[in-house]
A and B are shown apart, each in its own frame.
Chain A
């Protein structure tokens, strides 16, 4: 029996993405001004298309990272935020910004800080992956707990950095940490992150059956022919790089890596191949939609970052989903 969500859900998700994309191009609100719906010309169109691309890439990358981590750790609570990957990537970029400021040189390139983000996120992954093993075997709960702790440590180091840098830079760092989709995101950053998101999503979809097998024990996956170590390591690598790419473009944006796979699972079920594709669509729709919301809610003093919208709306939505699923399972 096919659930109604499975029949119309995919079409609705694609429609939501298209509506959000159209809104991001057409809707704007100048600071302190009224809401405007217009076809932008010239430079405005360029800026909005860049913001749209950045939002879609960030959403897709975070969603795919969440799918991979949840599959590999057999835990629906796993996400780049909870495992500390996003915080590690953010710490990497902030450290690069702070050190660059101290040296009087930019250590964050035109790609938005992809290298320091990958270094930070990758370091966290190595630590979490290394400490979350027992007798050489991955312990999903152990990984999650280590991730939570490492995430807290990274958060502490980020706060420390904010206190150590000069006042002018501190404001920029705080704004960046809130998660902002910038209209002026550089082409190189978009191409780099877009390429990473595309390859990561394609790998996840292609290796879907192997990731399905990881839902069971390592022994079972091995017995049916999955190269467990290779698949898991590659999945971790992609999860880290995808989260780092998203952070490099927009800073840490909460809940998307957790929420998108859950919404996608409600629509298409748990086969990783279809889950990966649907999560990309939903992740992109959520971030672009949050950015539209951020644009519409501009205040006299500035715009609300998209990361604030995903956190404020995504958190309660996730709790509602969680309770709804629990009720379904109990009934």
Chain B
């Protein structure tokens, strides 16, 4: 396509911007469609499935936190489960000991996750790549033991049982459905916040530090502040997810926050597409449903199948589902452009 005159150039550019506007419109329609689908979902499936989808939702929130930390800021964490544990215990203790209603535990859980994340993020500033992964892996390994050690606060291996939330305002839905909507509401707020945050100054600082630490610093980005901030935000998201987990499952115990939880979070994050917001949802779906699929394939060794699925997935889509979708989308846009 040889473009010679200014007029022709302007014409192509105009066509491009028109196309972009159209595509943005399609994207918005798609998003609204998805939200409507998400709202309709609990009326289409059984209560047990609704409970599973609630799990998908809060795990997606935690995965999004990890995406912000690892995908956008480039700090690998294999210990994100520790923040979930923290949020879960904050919620459980508030509800069980102090009789706080469940909906008031979300914000404190997020706040404590934020503070704790910032504190962990401070020494993490000096660790790069795999070393950070290692240190956080240690955090994940130590979490159940620490929880068991402070028995006075956490009730040790016995765990804490809390009540299932009642449906408010006399709405004609089941408790599971109400929990689903409650979680969905928080998820939408947090995803919207993440999108705005990542598009703004903070998000660009995160990405700049990830892509070239030194260049970012020389442009005046204060990495010493933004790196722990990324940890704090990741921690806050995971803390909220933890509180929601407590509310959904109505039980916390140290052994549900082992290494395995942290590993599955990273797995979900990578499968969904680590540097993306929407990928977190795919991650949540993968975390909740791949074990089920694996179990259907082989009752004897479901985790072996799980491992095989993981490896095959990485062969097929090394940059995750969202990366794959983006690739297809870019190809489509390119084809449209060459046609005009």
Does chain A bind chain B?
A: no
